[in-house]
Structure 1
Amino acid sequence: MTTTEDSGRKITGDSIRLEGVEKRYRGAPAPAVAKLDLEIAAGDIVAFVGPSGCGKTTTLKMINRLIEPTAGKIFIGDRDITNENPDRLRQSIGYVIQSGGLFPHWTVERNIGAIPRVLGWDKKRIAERTEYLLDLVGLDPAEFAKRLPKDMSGGQQQRVGVARALAADPPVLLMDEPFGAVDPITRVRLQDSLIDIHRELGKTIVIVTHDFEEATKLGDKVLILSEGGHIEQYGTPQEILADPATEFVAEFIGSGATLAQLTLTRVRDVEMAPVVTARVGEDSATVAARARTAGSNWVVVVDGLQRPLAWPSIAEIRTAETVVAFVDKRLPTVAPSSTLHDALDAMLSANQGGALVTTANGRLLGYIGIKTIVELIHDQQPDAGEIDYAEFAEAEENAP
């Protein structure tokens, strides 16, 4: 594994190179993957996407030799891994599948420590690594280390699956449809978590997905494959959306390409608005006065760790003498790494005129309104004519 600094960005991953890689199955009239040449830079996330049967999962599994290539060579860094011992190879590569793939009768900490134990790590080192990784994926070690998989949600299990794949500090992480089995809201949160993990660790990540929107959100580069593992286009999301290389790519992207531009802009890239906060038990009249002074018709009730609990209007606050301990489970929240498409979806799903921006640990950072997103869409479609922003301004003003 190499550790380098690239323009201030930490990179601990290795490059991946495929040279003439081919996979043929006995009796099949054509190869599943034919003569594939591909270079993935160290520290990049590359998303493989394409229709069913295009060879994206086959290619992913050839990188760690869960599927043996029929021909060609595969390099990780400077190592030709084509003839390495496959078991030792897989111990040096992180691998995440749908639903986490955890051992059901092992605790979380035992699941995460599986590969380090095989590699002979001592108990203290494994315990320290487990605690670090649970914190990294947003799970409290004190709460989750001793749990069994059956006692966790699907999203929590998937976070443990990512932690387990990173346990031995591999330079490469392979992910096969990792978020395909969770609900849309959890999926967005897991995507945001992966982006944050990547920024923290700088691993080389290859992810297979059937969702082009997910590919453009996660990928530094996107590989679009057609049947037989044929490369239709390999480039940044911006390049692919702006200039589809082939008719196949244009059709695959579809008519939603303009809206897909929202996946290229993160919440952190636009200006967030401050919010007025309140604590449970505060005097309601004082809170209402504070909100009016700030020019807001609503406040955000937070706990002791600045995590949002509810988003009431001033009128709702004044229905009681003190701020009540109400938790709104439909509260629209997004992360700084969320795309504006995620933010818009959160707003529409909650029927709100905005969304609250929180850290990975749930701490409130600010607010993003629907008007910001509408203006960006208009900038991308200058021929759409003038937009009457009054409706969006009113929706934001009366967000809750």
Structure 2
Amino acid sequence: MTSETSTPVSGGRTVAGESIRLEGLVKQYRGQPQPAVKKLDLQIDAGDIVAFVGPSGCGKTTTLKMINRLIEPSAGRIYIGDRDVTTENPDKLRQSIGYVIQSGGLFPHWSVAKNVGAIPRVLGTDKKKIAERTDYLLDLVGLDPEEYSSRLPKDMSGGQQQRVGVARALAADPPVLLMDEPFSAVDPITRVRLQDSLIAIQHELAKTIVIVTHDFEEATKLGDKVLILSEGGHVEQYAAPEEILANPATPFVEEFIGSGATLAHLTLSRVKDVEHNAVVTARVGEPSGEVIGRAKAAGQTWVVVVDDNGRPRSWPSLDELQTKPQVSDYLDRRLPTVAQSSTLNDALDSMLAASQGGTLVTDGRGAVIGALTVARVMDVIRGQLADARDDSSDTYESHTDGAKSS
């Protein structure tokens, strides 16, 4: 199994990514009176996820594609690390940058393994190293290499194809990963799981990731920083999500994030920050009597059946367990799960989609580590809304006091 190369950077943090710097970047299309991007300056720190958001026509996708020169800039410079890549061979540049698009963009007649190994093969990497790298990356994105390596894209779900797309983008160990609305073509539950998977991958690899999204909630969940653009690639605000929500820099930003900004704070509250309940786990084939005894001793009325990697398969009640002498191998495809990196919004969505009063909590590799109830999530939400009302009241009083004094 291969591992990522790492580079020490300031502050004691170790990352595998490189910084990106845009200096006076311009894109002027022929025949258009106004530039699509007008003199953009931007610094993206190594190892950060930065989300580009803004209305249609703001230049977010154009800017993303200029970084790897799928779109050539009309003026300005692009630096990755200390390299000025503006004049580099564009094909070689793109081979050194991971790129993920909607629906994975996989070659339909190639197996998963062949898709993942595409760029390393072009670069002349040894076949054994490509096979090891492919297995490592498929495992990293939550796909069993033995089960999925030989599959064709048509035999996989949209979410699985997108995971393969991420694995392929990471295959050559690039320092930078560009993602163009990668999760917009999947259903909401799959989208949450892909977001959580990306956060887990980033925690392990620490690449520099730039993601374009039309969803401000997704931007605040994924981004260490969020770049809000208006028409012409004008920077309205570039800051951490909590700063944007607390202090919108311009009227444009205030309008863009909308009247739901208070509830958007829930996207900053993570499952890992909320106390969750312990669970009793069981393996397929265990005697039901032993499992029931273990659960009763822990005061539980249900257990979580897990696979060899600790990933949940079902959560039968003790009454259901009593009907069979051994724990059965049943996969509940509606089983509600959220990762530690999931937001409280995600947790509620998971419960509602499965019509359950709780959800299982998993770690970065999908192993179950606890459970979270709807009552606990609602307690946190009520507390946050009360705090928001208090803040609004304080702001109103300060404004009225100022008006009276004047």
- Global fold match (TM > 0.5): yes
The answer to whether 1:140 aligns with 2:144 is: yes
- Which residue in 2 is equivalent to 1:343? 347
1:267-304: CA deviation from partner (whole Å, max 9, x where unpaired): 22222210133455666566555444433333333345
**Does structure 2 retain, via aligned residues, the 8 Å contact 1:10–1:201?**
no
Cα deviation for residue 371 of structure 1 reads 2.5
What SS is found at the alignment partner of 1:35?
Answer: strand
Question: 1:163-312 to 2 correspondence within 5 Å?
Answer: 163-280=167-284, 287-288=291-292, 290-312=294-316
What SS is found at the alignment partner of 1:174?
Answer: strand
Matches of 2:360 and 2:59, distance apart in 1: 40
AA in 2 matched with 1:243: N
- Say how many residue pairs are matched: 385
- Which residue in 1 is equivalent to 2:29? 25
1:340-376: CA deviation from partner (whole Å, max 9, x where unpaired): 2111111122222211012344322111122322222
What SS is found at the alignment partner of 1:366?
Answer: strand
The answer to whether 1:331 aligns with 2:328 is: no
- Which residue in 2 is equivalent to 1:100? 104
1:64-122: CA deviation from partner (whole Å, max 9, x where unpaired): 11101111111111111111111111111111111111111222222122211221212
Matches of 1:315 and 1:151, distance apart in 2: 37
1:375 aligned residue (352, 372, 379): 379
Distance 1:288 1:130, change over 3 A: closer
2:41 aligned residue (31, 37, 40): 37
- Which residue in 2 is equivalent to 1:70? 74
Cα deviation for residue 6 of structure 1 reads 5.6
**Does structure 2 retain, via aligned residues, the 8 Å contact 1:233–1:245?**
yes
**TM-score for both structures, normalised by structure 1:** 0.90
Distance 1:108 1:215, change over 3 A: same
User: Which is further off, 293-302 or 81-90?
Assistant: 293-302
Cα deviation for residue 260 of structure 1 reads 1.5
Distance 1:332 1:8, change over 3 A: farther
Distance 1:334 1:9, change over 3 A: farther
**TM-score for both structures, normalised by structure 2:** 0.88
Distance 1:127 1:55, change over 3 A: same
**Does structure 1 retain, via aligned residues, the 8 Å contact 2:6–2:14?**
no
Distance 1:167 1:281, change over 3 A: closer
User: Which is further off, 139-148 or 207-216?
Assistant: 139-148
Cα deviation for residue 18 of structure 1 reads 0.8
1:122 aligned residue (126, 138, 141): 126
1:367-393: CA deviation from partner (whole Å, max 9, x where unpaired): 1122322222222222689xxxxxxxx
**Does structure 2 retain, via aligned residues, the 8 Å contact 1:9–1:202?**
no
What SS is found at the alignment partner of 1:296?
Answer: coil
**Does structure 1 retain, via aligned residues, the 8 Å contact 2:262–2:388?**
no
AA in 2 matched with 1:184: P
Matches of 1:2 and 1:75, distance apart in 2: 19
**Does structure 1 retain, via aligned residues, the 8 Å contact 2:19–2:45?**
yes
Matches of 1:344 and 1:76, distance apart in 2: 39
Distance 1:150 1:68, change over 3 A: same
**Does structure 2 retain, via aligned residues, the 8 Å contact 1:378–1:384?**
no
What SS is found at the alignment partner of 2:86?
Answer: helix
What SS is found at the alignment partner of 2:104?
Answer: coil
Matches of 1:294 and 1:349, distance apart in 2: 28
1:162 aligned residue (162, 166, 180): 166
What SS is found at the alignment partner of 1:30?
Answer: coil
- Which residue in 2 is equivalent to 1:111? 115
- Which residue in 1 is equivalent to 2:401? none
**Does structure 2 retain, via aligned residues, the 8 Å contact 1:138–1:360?**
no
**Does structure 1 retain, via aligned residues, the 8 Å contact 2:97–2:174?**
yes
User: Which is further off, 67-76 or 320-329?
Assistant: 320-329
Root-mean-square deviation over aligned CA pairs: 2.2
Matches of 1:384 and 1:13, distance apart in 2: 37
- For structure 2, the residue ranges without an aligned partner over 5 or more in a row are 390-406
User: Which is further off, 341-350 or 351-360?
Assistant: 351-360
Distance 1:322 1:130, change over 3 A: closer
Matches of 1:318 and 1:344, distance apart in 2: 30
What SS is found at the alignment partner of 1:179?
Answer: coil
Matches of 2:270 and 2:306, distance apart in 1: 24
AA in 2 matched with 1:199: H
- Which residue in 2 is equivalent to 1:49? 53
- Which residue in 2 is equivalent to 1:89? 93
- For structure 1, the residue ranges without an aligned partner over 5 or more in a row are 386-400
**Does structure 1 retain, via aligned residues, the 8 Å contact 2:140–2:365?**
no
